[in-house]
């Protein structure tokens, strides 16, 4: 069994801690907020995982040094906008022969780095392997042991296989490997934007046909970006591609879909974020997606539309009309 430090006690970090202790690993779950550590320690409940009993075998800590030192695996589970800050905070305590796992989904604005690239950038003198763990995985379901499939990705497949074995649970978590870490991370970050678009459509009451169209054409836009950046096209039809976009765009658990739905219902962005009450990762990846579109001279109408709505340049209903008014074309015209 492994000693595992998880940095970030949000819903996903906590769900993974529950899973890993159930497998038999020794888990330390770190939060930068002392009040969260106190609540988790004393009540074994999480405010955003109602009804879920958090394992009493998890050690909760506000000390990042003890959460990193001496661990076999370090999991970065913060929102993507905090990955650089958290990794830098933990940096002095990393040592050789550790494996870093990122479960955060996002692309950094400005640098256009995925979360694994951010971690490599911060830890460049440490030369540690970084694995991305991603797929159609809602924390609310993983936390209670519902059957789930996920992908362990690393350019060096041997590290993906090590993490596959660490996280595998015969009861509830089947783990596949993939050496296309770029494609896996792009899917994980960009599908959140498409989920917002689907939520907007649902909020307007446009039904199943529109939902299916947005998911399908949205996946095409994600694939365009991936191919332009050198990712493997097969990744986009796998668990981290179509699998993750379907679950994020259709589930009641999805905060990205919920945000889009509220915007479609006419709520302002500020009201929407207040009602969601948690980080909406799709909003954090929007600027980077637009930068990538410009960099590679792509046409991404759905992503463009979400961006225009968030920027207040158009409203949701007008945007649908604009999408339908686009020049007619062959479905298979790709780039």
Catalytic residues: 191
Three-class SS of the chain: CCEEEEECCCHHHHHHHHHHHHHCCEEEEECCCHHHHHHHHHHCCCCCCCCCCCCCCCEEECCHHHHHCCCCEEEECCCHHHHHHHHHHHHHHCCCCCEEEECCCCECCCCCCEHHHHHHHHCCCCCCCEEEEECCCCHHHHCCCCCEEEEEECCCHHHHHHHHHHHCECCCEEEEEECCHHHHHHHHHHHHHHHHHHHHHHHCCCHHHHHHHHHHHHHHHHHHHHHHHCCCHHHHHCHHHHHHHHHHHHCCCCHHHHHHHHHHCCCCHHHHHHHHCCCCHHHHHHHHHHHHHHHCCCCCHHHHHHHHHHCCCCCHHHHHHHHHCCCCCCCCCCC
Is 66:37 a contact under the CB 8 Å cutoff?
Answer: no
127: left (phi > 0), else alpha (psi -120 to 50), else beta?
left
Pairwise CA distance, residues 60 & 63, whole Å: 9
Phi/psi at 94 (5° precision): -75, 150
How many alpha carbons lie under 13 Å from residue 276 in its C-beta half-sphere?
27
């Amino acid at each position: 069994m492994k000693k595992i430090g998880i940095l970030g006690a949000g819903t996903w970090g906590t769900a993974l801690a529950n899973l890993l202790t159930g497998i038999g690993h020794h888990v330390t779950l770190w939060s930068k907020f002392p009040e969260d550590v106190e609540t988790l320690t004393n009540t074994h409940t999480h405010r955003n995982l109602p009804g879920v009993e958090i394992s009493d075998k998890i050690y909760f800590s506000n000390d990042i040094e003890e959460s990193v030192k001496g661990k076999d695996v370090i999991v970065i589970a913060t929102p993507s906008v905090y990955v650089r800050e958290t990794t830098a905070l933990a940096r002095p305590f990393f040592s050789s022969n550790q494996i870093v796992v990122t479960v955060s989904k996002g692309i950094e604005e400005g640098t256009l780095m995925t979360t694994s690239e951010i971690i490599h950038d911060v830890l460049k003198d440490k030369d540690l392997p970084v694995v991305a763990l991603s797929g159609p995985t809602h924390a609310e379901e993983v936390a209670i042991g519902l059957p789930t499939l996920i992908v362990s990705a690393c350019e060096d497949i041997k590290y993906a296989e090590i993490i596959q074995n660490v996280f595998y649970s015969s009861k509830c978590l089947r783990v596949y490997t993939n050496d296309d870490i770029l494609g896996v991370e792009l899917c994980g970050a960009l599908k959140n934007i498409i989920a917002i678009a689907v939520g907007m459509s649902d909020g307007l009451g446009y039904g199943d046909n529109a939902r299916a169209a947005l998911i399908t054409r949205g996946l095409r836009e994600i694939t365009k970006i991936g191919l332009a950046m050198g990712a493997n096209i097969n990744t986009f039809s796998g668990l981290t591609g179509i699998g993750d976009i379907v679950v994020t765009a259709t589930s009641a658990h999805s905060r990205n879909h919920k945000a889009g739905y509220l915007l479609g219902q006419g709520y302002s962005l500020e009201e929407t974020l207040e009602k969601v009450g948690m980080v909406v990762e799709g909003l954090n990846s929007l600027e980077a997606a637009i930068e990538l579109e410009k960099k590679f001279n792509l046409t991404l109408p759905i992503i463009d539309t979400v961006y225009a709505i968030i920027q207040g340049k158009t409203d949701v209903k007008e945007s649908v009309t604009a999408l339908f008014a686009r020049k007619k074309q062959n479905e298979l015209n790709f780039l």
